[in-house]
Amino acid sequence: MTRIPRALLAVSLTAFAVGSVVTFGSPEIPVGWTVGMPVGAIFFGLFLVTFMLQKEVARFDEEELRRLELAAPTAPYRSARMWMGCASSVKL
Protein backbone atom coordinates (compact mmCIF):
# COMPACT_ATOMS: atom_id res chain seq x y z
CA MET A 1 0.00 0.00 0.00
CA THR A 2 1.43 3.38 -0.96
CA ARG A 3 1.24 6.58 1.02
CA ILE A 4 -1.93 8.02 -0.51
CA PRO A 5 -4.23 5.04 0.22
CA ARG A 6 -2.70 4.70 3.67
CA ALA A 7 -3.36 8.38 4.42
CA LEU A 8 -6.94 8.13 3.11
CA LEU A 9 -7.55 5.09 5.30
CA ALA A 10 -6.12 6.86 8.35
CA VAL A 11 -8.33 9.92 7.80
CA SER A 12 -11.34 7.68 7.24
CA LEU A 13 -10.84 5.69 10.43
CA THR A 14 -10.18 8.84 12.46
CA ALA A 15 -13.30 10.57 11.12
CA PHE A 16 -15.40 7.47 11.78
CA ALA A 17 -14.07 7.29 15.33
CA VAL A 18 -14.82 10.97 16.00
CA GLY A 19 -18.26 10.69 14.44
CA SER A 20 -19.08 7.54 16.41
CA VAL A 21 -18.00 9.06 19.73
CA VAL A 22 -20.06 12.17 19.08
CA THR A 23 -23.10 10.31 17.77
CA PHE A 24 -23.24 7.59 20.40
CA GLY A 25 -21.51 9.50 23.21
CA SER A 26 -22.67 12.17 25.58
CA PRO A 27 -25.16 14.79 24.37
CA GLU A 28 -22.99 17.67 25.66
CA ILE A 29 -20.66 17.45 22.65
CA PRO A 30 -21.63 19.97 19.92
CA VAL A 31 -23.73 18.46 17.15
CA GLY A 32 -21.42 19.84 14.44
CA TRP A 33 -18.92 17.10 15.18
CA THR A 34 -21.32 14.52 13.74
CA VAL A 35 -20.04 15.53 10.31
CA GLY A 36 -17.21 13.07 11.02
CA MET A 37 -19.31 10.08 9.99
CA PRO A 38 -20.02 11.27 6.41
CA VAL A 39 -16.45 12.54 6.05
CA GLY A 40 -15.22 9.11 7.10
CA ALA A 41 -17.48 7.46 4.53
CA ILE A 42 -16.24 9.76 1.77
CA PHE A 43 -12.59 9.14 2.59
CA PHE A 44 -13.23 5.40 2.84
CA GLY A 45 -14.71 5.49 -0.66
CA LEU A 46 -11.66 7.37 -1.92
CA PHE A 47 -9.44 4.79 -0.23
CA LEU A 48 -11.27 1.93 -1.96
CA VAL A 49 -11.02 3.59 -5.38
CA THR A 50 -7.29 4.31 -5.07
CA PHE A 51 -6.59 0.86 -3.65
CA MET A 52 -8.47 -0.87 -6.48
CA LEU A 53 -6.83 1.21 -9.23
CA GLN A 54 -3.30 0.95 -7.81
CA LYS A 55 -2.41 -2.23 -9.71
CA GLU A 56 -4.03 -1.00 -12.91
CA VAL A 57 -1.99 2.20 -12.86
CA ALA A 58 1.23 0.24 -12.28
CA ARG A 59 0.40 -2.06 -15.20
CA PHE A 60 -0.38 0.93 -17.44
CA ASP A 61 2.94 2.56 -16.53
CA GLU A 62 4.82 -0.63 -17.44
CA GLU A 63 3.02 -0.88 -20.78
CA GLU A 64 3.77 2.75 -21.63
CA LEU A 65 7.43 2.30 -20.72
CA ARG A 66 7.66 -0.78 -22.96
CA ARG A 67 5.98 1.12 -25.80
CA LEU A 68 8.40 4.01 -25.45
CA GLU A 69 11.38 1.65 -25.37
CA LEU A 70 10.19 -0.04 -28.55
CA ALA A 71 9.61 3.28 -30.30
CA ALA A 72 12.94 4.84 -29.26
CA PRO A 73 15.16 3.21 -31.96
CA THR A 74 12.79 4.26 -34.76
CA ALA A 75 12.28 7.84 -33.57
CA PRO A 76 13.95 10.51 -35.71
CA TYR A 77 17.04 12.13 -34.25
CA ARG A 78 16.51 15.54 -32.76
CA SER A 79 19.26 17.74 -31.50
CA ALA A 80 19.15 19.40 -28.13
CA ARG A 81 18.72 22.80 -29.79
CA MET A 82 15.52 21.67 -31.49
CA TRP A 83 14.07 20.44 -28.21
CA MET A 84 14.96 23.68 -26.45
CA GLY A 85 13.40 25.79 -29.19
CA CYS A 86 16.62 27.57 -30.18
CA ALA A 87 16.90 29.15 -33.59
CA SER A 88 19.04 27.29 -36.13
CA SER A 89 21.12 30.41 -36.81
CA VAL A 90 22.49 30.51 -33.27
CA LYS A 91 26.00 29.07 -33.16
CA LEU A 92 27.16 27.23 -30.10
Q: How do residues 4-52 score in pLDDT, each as one tens digit? A: 999 999 999 999 999 888 888 877 878 788 888 899 999 999 999 999 9
Asked whether residue 13 is assigned to any structural domain, the reply reads yes
pLDDT number for residue 77: 58
Residue 38's domain comprises 3-73
Asked whether residue 86 is assigned to any structural domain, the reply reads no
Neighbours of 14 (CB within 10 A): 14
Strand, helix or coil for residue 34: helix
Asked whether residue 80 is assigned to any structural domain, the reply reads no
Asked whether residue 67 is assigned to any structural domain, the reply reads yes
DSSP summary character for residue 26: -
Can you spell out the DSSP letters for 39-80? HHHHHHHHHHHHHHHHHHHHHHHHHHHHHHHHHGGGSPP--H
pLDDT number for residue 25: 82
Q: How do residues 50-91 score in pLDDT, each as one tens digit? A: 999 988 988 998 998 888 888 777 666 555 445 555 555 544
pTM value? 0.64
